[in-house]
Structure 1
Amino acid sequence: MKTDWRARNHPAWWAFLVHRISGIVLTLFLPFHFWVLGMALNDAARMDDFFAWADRPLVKVAEAGLVILLAAHLTGGLRLMALEFLAWRGWQKDLLAVAAGLTVIAGVVFAYVV
């Protein structure tokens, strides 16, 4: 079966791909996040060392990337809910652009605040 690559150059396909990739990356991040939370409960000195490590610029950039992924996954989920519960209209392409814009804005605001 041959794949029509033109179908993959559609905004909805890219939204699907971003939603899946962001979900996978966030799923891979969760065990690390829970490990750090457990560290906060069990070893305060080790947690202070972790905070000192996390204050590096590269870690801050990675955190901003995680926020962008979270925002992308959230807006992708909202898009899917709109597809499920609303009638299909031409304006839904515009929702893809709005979701992408909100994702970037959330990441930039987080990077500025942190």
Structure 2
Amino acid sequence: MSSTTVYKGRSGQWAFVAHRITGVLVFLFLLLHIVDVSLINLSAELYDEVHQLYGNVLLRLFEVGLLFALLFHSLNGLRLVAVDFFPGAVRNERRLLSAVVVLTVAVGVPCGYVIMKPFIDGTLLG
């Protein structure tokens, strides 16, 4: 029996790694979100100050990255469900992964544009 993985260096391995990384990123965002929303219980002023930071271009770029992570993680999760529950999907696993990547980009780019639009238009650059 070999100790190497079936996916070694192939698209399945990279999808596995990307799924784990995006899962951790989404989890960290959820922790941050819980903390920042709970600030309202401490001080309304502190809550407002923290939420004003979200208008910063750097944090907006972070939101775009989070958007892509959420899209990839959710679509790849659906791909994994399809592969697990539909035996014929295993034969099309590489195509399904390509569809996940294409859909992530196809949905992420226009949504990312909407997030960054105030900076692109110059309305938030002051």
Give TM class, smaller chain.
Answer: 0.7 to 0.9
In 1: Cα distance, 2:54 partner to 2:79 partner = 33
Alignment pair present for 1:109 and 2:110 = yes
Structure 1 residue 109, shift from structure 2 partner: 2.4
Q: TM-score scaled to structure 2, two decimals?
A: 0.76
Q: Which one is further off, 45-54 or 70-79?
A: 45-54
Higher relative contact order (CA 8 A, sep 6+): 1
Runs of 4+ more than 6 Å apart: none
Structure 1 residue 93, shift from structure 2 partner: 1.5
Please name the residue that 2:34 is paired with: 34
Equivalent residues, number: 113
Gaps spanning 5+ residues in structure 1: where? none
Q: In structure 2, what residue type is equivalent to 1:102? A: L
SS at structure 2 position matched to 1:113:
helix
Gaps spanning 5+ residues in structure 2: where? 116-126
Percent identity, please: 31
Structure 1 residue 110, shift from structure 2 partner: 2.5
Please name the residue that 2:81 is paired with: 81
Relative distance call for 1:104 and 1:40 in structure 2 (3 A) is: farther
In 2: Cα distance, 1:109 partner to 1:9 partner = 31
SS at structure 2 position matched to 1:55:
coil
In 1: Cα distance, 2:102 partner to 2:40 partner = 35
Provide, for residues 81-108 of structure 1, a one-character-per-residue CA deviation record: whole Å limited to 9, x for no partner: 0011111343331110110111223332
Provide, for residues 17-72 of structure 1, a one-character-per-residue CA deviation record: whole Å limited to 9, x for no partner: 11111111212222111011112455332222112211111100101101111111
Larger radius of gyration: 2
Is residue 23–residue 73 contact of structure 1 (8 Å, CA) maintained in 2?
yes
